[in-house]
Chains A and B, each alone.
Chain A
Amino acid sequence: MTTEMPLWEVFIRGQHGMSHRHVGSLHAADAETALLNARDVYTRRNEGVSIWVVPAAQITASSPSEKGPYFEPANDKVYRHPTFFDIPDEVGPM
């Protein structure tokens, strides 16, 4: 019985200097073949200039059931946004 190839998550940096962005996943025996497969599966139309592959098992994710307690503390700190502060028009752009 063949063991199934592990799953890798694929991150690609596009043309314009943005961060690597998650694009999907794929199976491969090791990191080198994961990179080759990622090139073939996810960059057939010049979608990227750099690829990261990460074993899916190595990713630690926040739990959806704790979404509330996890992210809500940010909700009541509106002063973190610049629009919280009223600056008089005569001060000019800021």
Chain B
Amino acid sequence: MYAQMIKSEATADDPDKLKAFQARIDAGEKIEPKDWMPEGYRKTLIRQIGQHAHSEIVGQLPEGNWITRAPTLERKAILLAKVQDEAGHGLYLYCAAETLGVSRDEMTRMLLDGRMKYSSIFNYPTLTWADMGAVGWLVDGAAIMNQVPLQRTSYGPYARAMIRICKEESFHQRQGFDIMMKMANGTPAQRRMAQDALNRFWYPSLMMFGPSDKDSVHSTQSMRWRIKINTNDELRQKFVDQTVPQAEYLGLTVPDETLAWNEEKGGYDFAEPDWAEFYGVLKGNGPCNTDRIAARQKAWDDGTWVRDGLMAHAAKRKAAKAAAQ
């Protein structure tokens, strides 16, 4: 999940209007930008879509790390295309958030000064080429789990962005699994790298769905508003049930000794991730938090003259055109 721990906003609107709004959502209607909406709905969505957009943009960094060192030209071209998709996904989502009355530049400022977050997963380093496989397979796999139901979310622009994203996301997971297959069927050293990548990314991937339902304080309101469709634990269970057989196919071992099939519930029993680590990463103490924000800050600062130049050029051309008329 690219949006974790989204704090839902209390809402102090006219009860009649709120009731009518809830009725529209319950009837499965889409809420569109100019429709009346509770202030809490608007603010919660800005936070959620903004966090999702930031995750796509920051998520380019761990993979961008390997573009220049991809093992073949084909792998490099594929990774480049994948990272370019992430930029596109970020842009679709920023535009969806902008329909709620916040500008993209403002959201960028909020990311850089820490008022907005991105997914905890991108604060982990990508140490070997096998991590490109694990990220595509597990991280994009977990993201798909969350994003597929969000195609039916109540806010029209968000749902439409999600539809576009889901169409492209399946390529990401498959290219990751393809890397894992190659490594898992390779030399003993390559198999060890693949196993090591799974070991490091397993629990952080489980954390992507956010804390356990019993500790997830903001879910109820978001689910009533249909900006969250499934609970964190439901999605995590679905992810584990889907992923474990894939790991078995690869001949890799999920790093969880308690993992066992539970016939009664028709799913796996598995160990929860270390939630203290999760909250630590969210607070800024993950292995790469400082690097990630520093990289985004540098990109923003270094791009200033380009943005200014483009605007100055556009203004000059517009003035010249007006003078000629």
Given A64-B32, A64-B34, A64-B35, do A2 and B88 touch, yes or no (CB 8 Å)? Answer: no
Residue of B nearest to A62 (CB): B34
Given A4-B104, A41-B88, A44-B85, do A29 and B313 touch, yes or no (CB 8 Å)? Answer: yes
Contacting A at CB under 8 A, from B292-325, are 304, 307-308, 310-311, 313-314, 317-318
Given A2-B304, A25-B95, do A61 and B34 touch, yes or no (CB 8 Å)? Answer: yes
Residue A27 lies at the interface, judged by CB distance under 8 Å to chain B: yes
Residue B196 lies at the interface, judged by CB distance under 8 Å to chain A: no
Contacting B at CB under 8 A, from A40-79, are 40-42, 44-45, 61, 63-65
Given A25-B95, A44-B84, do A33 and B310 touch, yes or no (CB 8 Å)? Answer: yes
Enumerate chain B residues within 8 angstroms of A30, measured Cβ to Cβ.
310, 313-314, 317-318
Given A24-B164, A41-B88, do A2 and B313 touch, yes or no (CB 8 Å)? Answer: no
Enumerate chain A residues within 8 angstroms of B104, measured Cβ to Cβ.
4, 27
- Residue pair A5, B34 in contact (C-beta under 8 Å): no
Residue of B nearest to A37 (CB): B91
Residue B161 lies at the interface, judged by CB distance under 8 Å to chain A: yes
Residue of A nearest to B105 (CB): A4
Enumerate chain A residues within 8 angstroms of B105, measured Cβ to Cβ.
2, 4
Enumerate chain A residues within 8 angstroms of B35, measured Cβ to Cβ.
64
Counting residue pairs across A and B whose Cβ atoms lie within 8 Å, the total is: 57
Residue B92 lies at the interface, judged by CB distance under 8 Å to chain A: yes
Cβ proximity bits A1-27 to B, threshold 8 Å, 1 near / 0 not: 011110100000000000000011111
CB B49 to nearest CB in A, in angstroms, measures 13
Given A44-B88, A61-B34, A64-B32, do A4 and B103 touch, yes or no (CB 8 Å)? Answer: yes
Which of B84, B92, B98 interacts with A7 by CB under 8 Å? B98
Residue B168 lies at the interface, judged by CB distance under 8 Å to chain A: yes
Residue of B nearest to A25 (CB): B95
Given A4-B103, A64-B32, do A26 and B91 touch, yes or no (CB 8 Å)? Answer: yes
Contacting A at CB under 8 A, from B3-61, are 32, 34-36
Residue of B nearest to A23 (CB): B164
- Residue pair A5, B310 in contact (C-beta under 8 Å): yes
- In the complex, A27 Cα to B310 Cα: how many Å? 12
CB A77 to nearest CB in B, in angstroms, measures 24
CB A43 to nearest CB in B, in angstroms, measures 10
Enumerate chain B residues within 8 angstroms of A65, measured Cβ to Cβ.
36
Top 3 nearest A-B pairs by Cβ distance? A29-B310, A30-B314, A29-B314
Interface residues of A (CB under 8 A from B): 2-5, 7, 23-30, 33, 40-42, 44-45, 61, 63-65
Question: 13 more A-B contacts (CB under 8 A) besides A2-B307, A64-B35?
Answer: A2-B105, A2-B304, A3-B311, A4-B103, A5-B310, A7-B95, A30-B313, A33-B310, A41-B88, A42-B88, A44-B85, A64-B32, A65-B36
| 11 pairs, CB–CB < 8 Å, chain A vs chain B | A2-B105, A2-B311, A4-B105, A23-B164, A24-B95, A25-B98, A33-B310, A42-B88, A44-B81, A64-B34, A64-B36
